[in-house]
Structure 1
Amino acid sequence: MFSGLPFSYLFLSVMGTGTLLSISSIHWLSIWAGLEINLIGFLPLLVYQKSTSESESAVKYFIVQALGSSFLIFGSLMTFASSFTWDMYSWSYFSTLGLVVLVMGLSIKLGLFPFHYWLPSVMAGLPWISCLLLATWQKFAPLFLLLCFLELNQSYMLIYMFCLMSAGSSLIGGFGGMNQTQVRALLAYSSIGHLGWMAFAALHSEWSMKVYLMIYILISISMFGSLWASDSGLMKNINNLKTSTFMQMSIMLLLLSLGGLPPLLGFISKLLVITVSSNGPWMFILLVLIVGSLMSLFYYLSLFFSFFLAFSKKYSLVNLTMNLNIISVINTINIFGGVLILMMSLTTSM
């Protein structure tokens, strides 16, 4: 993907600059401008290989992001009309409708429920590196802007909106992946489910949401990096991945880690959110999140068992060789990092 130097790194720099501008700004006009700069830098990366599926995904992504930007600028204009300032900290002048429109615009850009329909279809036609950027870096600006909403305004309407979006995202992430056989669409629904957990974590503490986001990004980098390194960009089905035996098993274990199977690393982030929110008033929402995570874990386990049975027929366990390279070491850390964290926590508690 990065063979056309220096243009690919130029687009990455533009995309990163737009995200940093949006996060570091306190005016809605500069926040909107930063999101648009990020979109301008990301769109050329989507159509880099000039395939039909990438062009279709890029057009869908552009339409959705333009819709989210229109909601964002419309909500900021409504706040400007009431307060005569672009400052995002002027919450006393915010109208209810303007607040709802702003949250809707950021939710559309992020892919939260009920604006999640575009994410699986867009990710299904993209290469692995573009999927990685869409699942990780493109979440930073909208997610941290939503976190600023909660830090500056603790109104019941905003809390109810976050509870609805988090519960719906978790259920959609569980139901949507049940009948999926495409790896990209499966990871897209997994991303929607994790967004629900992040939105719910933001209701209780900022650091828990950030820790959850960092763990999700770490596992996603290993997952998409492994799929990209296995040279399976044209293969859609999980059973057709052409890779080494250790890489196949690590990919499946990373899927289980994304699903939150204990004691893997993905379980630690969910355990953290459950611990933080266990004393809160939203226990029913937490129960819905756990149910959605169990549904996600169900289809991950189904994929793992079907893959393992087909794998055991083809290979003998005696003849397995472990290819120790950089990706394998990173995958091992991501898979078994949860075991180390649990052992350390138990040791300190004793």
Structure 2
Amino acid sequence: MLSSLPFSLMFLVIMVTGTLFSVSSIHWLAIWSGLEINLIGFLPVLVYGKKISESESAVKYFIIQAMGSSMLIFGSLIIYTSTFSWEMVNSGVMGIIGGFITLISGLFIKLGLFPFHYWLPSVMAGLSWLSCLLLTTWQKVAPLYLMVCLMELNQSYEVFLILCMIGAGSSVMGGLGGLNQTQVRALLAYSSIGHLGWIVFAIVHSEWVMKMYFAVYVMVSVCIFMSLWYKDSGMAKDLDNLSEHNFLQLGVVVLLLSLGGLPPMLGFISKLIVILVGAPKSYLFLMVMVIGSVMSLFYYLGLFFSMSLSWFKKYELTDMQLSNNALIPLTIMFNLVGGLLILSSNMFNSLYALVIFYQP
């Protein structure tokens, strides 16, 4: 992709423009048009490598996104028959549950949420690392923003219950699906499904917490995908090649554990804030989501032990080697001690008070 930078930048600009056009509109036709412009800009990025697997994934992605867009426009037509208006601001007043469910189901399909999650691992398994990064980060912005807007317009208990069930189901499916995966791309796809469950659960409780969680997920994902793109590690066994670069391997291990939510790393802190906000209202769903998160952490720990054993096997650690690589234990200690300080000091109390203050 980097060999033809103007070609790539043109379609990336179209993709970004479509997303911005969608999130800045209150007209359902304009929102749908922005999503289609985003799709038109993203498809050439998917197939630019001219591999058979990329073309297959691009066709699957196009079919799924077209299905989600059709449900989105169909739901807006149902709303229009009652309100005679295409504006989003009138959609929460009409009380048509059928149009709302159709709209939000289209967003679920576009995001890859439970029970419409089966397309995401198969699509990501055949894409390049840059396409996977865009698919798991930027392509989620517009549907999540629209879901936040729909929640503000319709705050009934039925919608609250549906989104909590979707979030819990996505977390569990993200944990179960990744247990038997050997492809790193598919494993990260199931991880994305699990994290989307947490994001949807955060939407119904606090918009600020959802934005914080999504920002942390994007930062960690960018670092992981760029590291794996650097070494082109597509299979779990290929992660052993990272042992040639000690600092890169350490960074990937720490980021994977953080993405899995291992205490006391950054990914755990974001999940802990969601738990603090959602526990008073829906602790039963939170229990299910924590179980799904533990299953996700299980296969991340499997990757961690695989990479660690390969590293110890290649390097017989002596006192001299440890002194030459003193930054490695110092970095690990900094992550552990830093996270424990956040959890045990007054900073954590201030963080909890800030979360409670920003609740709607």
Structure 1-normalised TM-score? 0.92
- Contact persistence 2:240–2:307 (CA under 8 A): no
Residue number in structure 1 paired with 2:258: 257
- Contact persistence 1:72–1:101 (CA under 8 A): yes
Shift, 1:240, TM fit: 4.7
Shift, 1:276, TM fit: 1.0
Cα gap change, 1:336 to 1:204, in 2 (>3 Å): farther
In the alignment, the residues of structure 1 paired with residue 325 and residue 150 of structure 2 have an alpha-carbon distance, to the nearest angstrom, of 47
Across the aligned residues of Structure 1 and Structure 2, the Cα RMSD in angstroms comes to 2.2
Residue number in structure 2 paired with 1:343: 341
After superposition, residues 19-38 of structure 1 pair within 5 angstroms as: 19-38=19-38
Shift, 1:94, TM fit: 4.3
* Aligned residue type for 1:150: M
- Contact persistence 2:264–2:339 (CA under 8 A): no
Residue number in structure 2 paired with 1:15: 15
Residue number in structure 1 paired with 2:43: 43
In the alignment, the residues of structure 1 paired with residue 288 and residue 224 of structure 2 have an alpha-carbon distance, to the nearest angstrom, of 26
In the alignment, the residues of structure 2 paired with residue 148 and residue 157 of structure 1 have an alpha-carbon distance, to the nearest angstrom, of 16
Cα gap change, 1:305 to 1:344, in 2 (>3 Å): closer
After superposition, residues 139-150 of structure 1 pair within 5 angstroms as: 139-150=140-151
Shift, 1:336, TM fit: 6.1
Residue number in structure 2 paired with 1:245: 246
In the alignment, the residues of structure 2 paired with residue 219 and residue 110 of structure 1 have an alpha-carbon distance, to the nearest angstrom, of 19
Ranges in structure 1 where 5+ consecutive residues have no aligned partner: none
Cα gap change, 1:339 to 1:268, in 2 (>3 Å): farther
Shift, 1:223, TM fit: 0.3
After superposition, residues 183-332 of structure 1 pair within 5 angstroms as: 183-230=184-231, 232=232, 235-240=234-239, 242-243=241-242, 244-280=245-281, 282-318=282-318, 319=321
- Contact persistence 1:18–1:35 (CA under 8 A): yes
Deviations 1:195-248 (A, max 9, x none): 000011111101000000000000000000111122x15x42344553312212
* Aligned residue type for 1:242: N
- Contact persistence 2:236–2:303 (CA under 8 A): no
* Aligned residue type for 1:225: M
* Aligned residue type for 2:10: L
Pick which of 214-223 and 160-169 moved more.
Answer: 160-169
Shift, 1:342, TM fit: 5.4
- Contact persistence 2:22–2:30 (CA under 8 A): yes
* Aligned residue type for 1:49: G
- Contact persistence 2:263–2:339 (CA under 8 A): no
Residue number in structure 1 paired with 2:353: none
Shift, 1:12, TM fit: 0.7
- Contact persistence 2:28–2:88 (CA under 8 A): yes
- Contact persistence 2:72–2:107 (CA under 8 A): yes
Residue number in structure 1 paired with 2:130: 129
* Aligned residue type for 2:235: K
Count of residue pairs brought into register by the alignment:
340
- Contact persistence 1:264–1:339 (CA under 8 A): no
Deviations 1:39-70 (A, max 9, x none): 00000000011000000000000000000000
Ranges in structure 2 where 5+ consecutive residues have no aligned partner: 351-360
* Aligned residue type for 1:80: Y
After the TM superposition, which segments of 4 or more aligned residues of structure 1 sit over 2 Å from their partners?
A: 235-243, 316-324, 335-345, 347-350
* Aligned residue type for 1:66: A
Cα gap change, 1:338 to 1:71, in 2 (>3 Å): farther
Shift, 1:323, TM fit: 12
Shift, 1:341, TM fit: 6.1
Deviations 1:274-313 (A, max 9, x none): 1111222x11000001000000111111221122122211
Residue number in structure 2 paired with 1:174: 175
